[in-house]
Amino acid sequence: MTEGLKTIIYPVKDIDRAKAMFGGLLGVEPVMDEPYYVQYNAAGQEIGLDPNGHGKGMTGPVPYWHVADINQTVAVLLDAGAESLQDVQDVGGGRLTATVRDADGNVIGLVQRS
């Protein structure tokens, strides 16, 4: 079961420049501002900036679907032909993420909150 598409993460090369641009666009301050990740919450969306994203193979923004059971969802997607890009991992505070690529090359992100 999905709770919807609530998070979009952008890979960025210059975190300070990206923060200035997204802060201006969204009109809010970050709710998380760390050297490894910056997050804004605006209009019900979580917008993340990942300065390590390109090194993880991100070539553009990745949408993240919020799901109730990430392991089950990953299994369903893999059974349907998706390829695992990032196994389920805890990114802090019990928040789990994973990414897969579908048969058309689209990256699908998944999030499960603790």
d(CA 58, CA 50) in angstroms, rounded, equals: 9
From 2.60.40.1120, 3.40.50.620, 3.40.640.10, 3.10.180.10, which CATH number describes the 2-112 domain?
3.10.180.10
7 band by pLDDT with thresholds 50, 70 and 90: very high
Backbone angles phi, psi at 31, to 5 degrees: -90, -15
Q: What is the dihedral of CA 94, 55, 24, 66, to 10 degrees?
A: -30
Query: Whose structure tokens read 């890009």?
Result: 85
Q: Is 10 exposed, middle or buried (0-12, 13-18, 19+ CB in 10 A)?
A: middle
Instruction: State what percent of residues in the chain have pLDDT above 90.
Output: 81
Q: How confident is the model at residue 3, as a pLDDT? A: 85
pTM of structure: 0.87
The pLDDT confidence band at residue 52, using thresholds 50, 70 and 90, is very high
